[in-house]
Amino acid sequence: MGRLFGTDGIRGIANSFLTCELAIKTGRAAGKVLSDGSRRRPLFCIGTDTRISSDMLSSSIAAGLCSVGADVIVLGVVPTPAVAYLVGKYKADAGVMISASHNPAEYNGIKIFGGDGYKIPDALEEQIESIVLDGDTDDHTGLSGTDIGKITYAANAVKDYVDHLKSTVMNSLEGLNIAVDCANGSASVSAERLFTELGAKADILHAAPDGININSNCGSTHIERLREYVTEAKLDAGIAYDGDADRCICVDEKGNIVDGDFILAICAKDMKERGKLSKNTVVGTVMTNMGFGRFCEENGISFVATKVGDRYVLEEMLQESYNFGGEQSGHVIFSDFASTGDGQLTSIQILSLMKRSGKPLSELAGVMKRYPQSIINVTVSKEAKVAYYTDPHIKAAIENAKKQFGKTGRIVVRPSGTEPLIRVMTEGEDRALTENIAESVSEVIRERLDGR
């Protein structure tokens, strides 16, 4: 992990760590690094989520880009995957998304996509990082007059993106009654148009962003209200996105949560049956539930696990020519249609399958048994995240946990790549044992790293 870029771009408290000055410098550095080397001026797309700080940071990034001679297309509020798609459609050299995804409103972030729609590789992030932190981004190369970049505004960004999403399904969603939780985020500008045009009857929830209510007791990280809404209204399904709509969690007609692991199983089975699953393989992460591995064994599907982070899932998919993968959190990548995780794309694939099969979501999700899982997030300082790797008492606690589980379960402990947390995940056949081990290891981490 770099000094600025984490596993999902630059992220921090807006106007504290993530200041206008840092955004301007990042814009200048990205303009220099990501231009195609030709004499024509580079072109960048910039999208934002609905946070109060997003306009401030978008304007700063745009100013930095223009100061080094890059032109900018401002997309406005759009989902992160819309930026990835529109970079290609608008023939831009790169795209920037201003968002902190599922984090609270006080956070924000900068995600950068290359001209191919994929998140830029580590080597390019390091070049940008080096210029920002070690180079002279105050040197504008003396540009003036017509050499300075200009800003234009995309009038049809949301429409173009929604039209693309609609093209990925083979049937309408007419007859389905659903609820859609937009998390007061980016999906607020696109979800109603998408589902209306596909024919579904959709109750759109939490789609009134005010700059500070993004992800606040709503969306994919707070799904309780959606579960109640679906069961009380007797709907076919519920869909929940996060703040930038790159992840999706579903609720079946009984109110059960259908997370990313279930979505992978449902879609993988369908794709294999239709001959659409490349190499009969799905890519997940070390956090993917054990039940998914058992599902793959039973259905003749290969499973490959990577480090946590959708960028690592995608890297494995690209390297081995797989076309389907994702995370339990709801980042799901259909690489036949998209270059990154896309919550709205995922949801219409699931709903299209429900319509084609005539089966309720609960029955489709029954292809996989979920093993009891316990996840505890331990809040630590930045220094403690580093100290975690070498602490002998923590290592011993983890090794003891593995012995307790034997072959009936497992433990995964890892520092978060985007938040000041160490995540402890356990899962196994025995729920009580799974929960007890997670708590005991978490307590050791708290005792050893508290105050660092």
Ordered structural domains, the chain, with CATH: 5-155 (3.40.120.10), 160-365 (3.40.120.10), 373-449 (3.30.310.50)
- Residue 386 confidence (pLDDT) above 90: no
What is the model's pTM?
Answer: 0.90
Q: Which of 60, 99, 101, 352 is catalytic?
A: 101
Q: How many residues does the chain have?
A: 452
> Is 101 one of the catalytic residues?
yes
The separation between CA 311 and the C-alpha centre of its own chain, rounded to angstroms, equals 9
Name the range with the highest mean pLDDT among 141-155, 198-212, 369-383.
Answer: 198-212
**Does residue 1 have a pLDDT over 50?**
no
| Helices of type H across 213-274 | 224-233, 260-273
pLDDT value, residue 101? 94
Residue-averaged pLDDT of the chain: 94
Q: Give pLDDT, residue 38.
A: 61
DSSP letter for 88, please: H
Hey, how many other C-beta atoms are within 10 angstroms of the C-beta on 262? 27
Q: b or e along 126-135 (b: 16 or more beta carbons within 10 Å of the residue's beta carbon)?
A: ebbbebbeeb
**pLDDT range class, residue 76, cuts 50, 70, 90:** very high
Give all strands (DSSP E) within 302-399, no chain letters: 302-306, 324-326, 332-334, 373-379
Tens of pLDDT along 269-291? 999 999 999 999 999 999 899 99
pLDDT of residue 395: 93
The per-residue pLDDT for 185 is 98
| pLDDT mean over 115-130 | 93
Residue 153 has pLDDT above 60, yes or no: yes
Rounded distance between C-alpha atoms, residue 288 and residue 236, angstroms: 26
Residue 418 confidence (pLDDT) above 80: no
- The CA distance from 241 to 298, in Å, is 30
| CA–CA gap between residue 343 and residue 327 (Å, rounded) | 12
Please spell the DSSP secondary structure of 127-183, one letter per residue: HHHHHHHHS-TT--TT--GGGS--EEE-SSHHHHHHHHHHTT-SS--TT-EEEEE-T
Token pair belonging to 200: 């579904």
